[in-house]
Amino acid sequence: MGQDQTKQQIEKGLQLYQSNQTEKALQVWMKVLEKSSDLMGRFRVLGCLVTAHSEMGRYKEMLKFAVVQIDTARELEDADFLLESYLNLARSNEKLCEFHKTISYCKTCLGLPGTRAGAQLGGQVSLSMGNAFLGLSVFQKALESFEKALRYAHNNDDAMLECRVCCSLGSFYAQVKDYEKALFFPCKAAELVNDYGKGWSLKYRAMSQYHMAVAYRLLGHLGSAMECCEESMKIALQHGDRPLQALCLLCFADIHRSRGDLELSQLKLHCLSESIYRSKGLQRELRAHVVRFHECVEETELYCGLCGESIGEKNSRLQALPCSHIFHLRCLQNNGTRSCPNCRRSSMKPGFV
């Protein structure tokens, strides 16, 4: 496969990838890798494979192609290609949480002399290094690296890099518990997407929305957190971005747990108030809290579907079926059925809660 044909096939793969036909794009690129004798074309297609496997969460494959890309760069004897391949190797190790290796490869990138791409890729190297320091909880060095990456972005009018740095700064400030700044930076990233991101991949919008969701949750703005997380998950599902899907699922769980904590707090409040008003003989107030207590029990489904008694008022052994419905153990034993009394699914192998 010659240079022109290699270029055509790479472009064909990019068109397939951008239209979410990922597996077909990978097949085209792998065929180029097998058949092309054009070193520059091979280097470029390896970069495509690194990016695609990164976005799909296949980090070991990402690392494998990054290693092959370094060998190709050495054959080309070009410092710019070597810088790009070392950066891909740093990113691959970052994704695999090999943070010390990431920092080492980033330092190698920064030590390569006289590269034309240095001004363009220097900010990305600093960003990757910052993410690695953040993974190691070396906060001062992480912040220094992020600020350096931000300066690169501003000096080179690189809005895409600035967007990525803002998302990383959102993670940084969430970890150091400055939640206002944890929200400010991903909001800034979302503004950049709106202003400049028409030609960008939707992953940048998804990324900013996810970090906004995390910050909103930490600030207790659960409605806004849910909206942002849903938007991020929608894009992640559309593009097959499995790592982002996993992060969104964790965020959804945290949001629901926060909501559940609020509901359980209300339940405890009404239960305590009921005891106080009962002891004082205040019947009207007592009735109001009894009614609200049972409404909360029904809303949170904290009751046994067989006997109807609320769960958690007394110490009792519970059993959860695979369908996630919860009952008193004694009620299930007395019921004598093999299926869930609520949804009639087969209960197969119940687990204790």
Higher local confidence (pLDDT), 48 or 3:
48
Instruction: Please write the tens of the pLDDT for every residue from 279-338.
Output: 767 777 777 767 776 666 555 556 677 776 766 555 567 776 666 567 777 787 777 666
Of residues 171 and 324, more confidently modeled:
171
3-state secondary structure 133-149: HHHCCCHHHHHHHHHHH
Residue type, 346: S
Highest mean pLDDT among 18-27, 143-152, 322-331: 143-152
With cut-offs at 50, 70 and 90, classify the pLDDT of residue 197: confident
Q: 339: which strand partners? A: 346
CB 307 within 8 A of CB 330: no
The residue whose two tokens read 């890798």 is: 33
Residue 281 CA to chain centroid, in angstroms?
53
Regarding the domain with residue range 313-352, which homologous superfamily does it belong to in the CATH classification? Zinc/RING finger domain, C3HC4 (zinc finger) (3.30.40.10)
Query: In this model, does residue 22 exceed pLDDT 90?
Result: no
pLDDT score, position 352: 37
Calculate the average pLDDT of the chain.
Answer: 83
Q: Per-residue confidence at 353, pLDDT binned at 50, 70, 90?
A: very low
Task: Say yes or no to pLDDT of 78 above 70.
Answer: yes
- The domain spans of the chain are 160-166+173-257, 260-301, 313-352
From residue 289, give the alpha-carbon distance in Å to each of 14, 146, 273, 278: 62, 52, 7, 10
pTM score over 0.75: no
Tokens for 136, please give them.
């190691």
Most confident by average pLDDT, 20-24, 125-129, 260-264, 337-341: 125-129
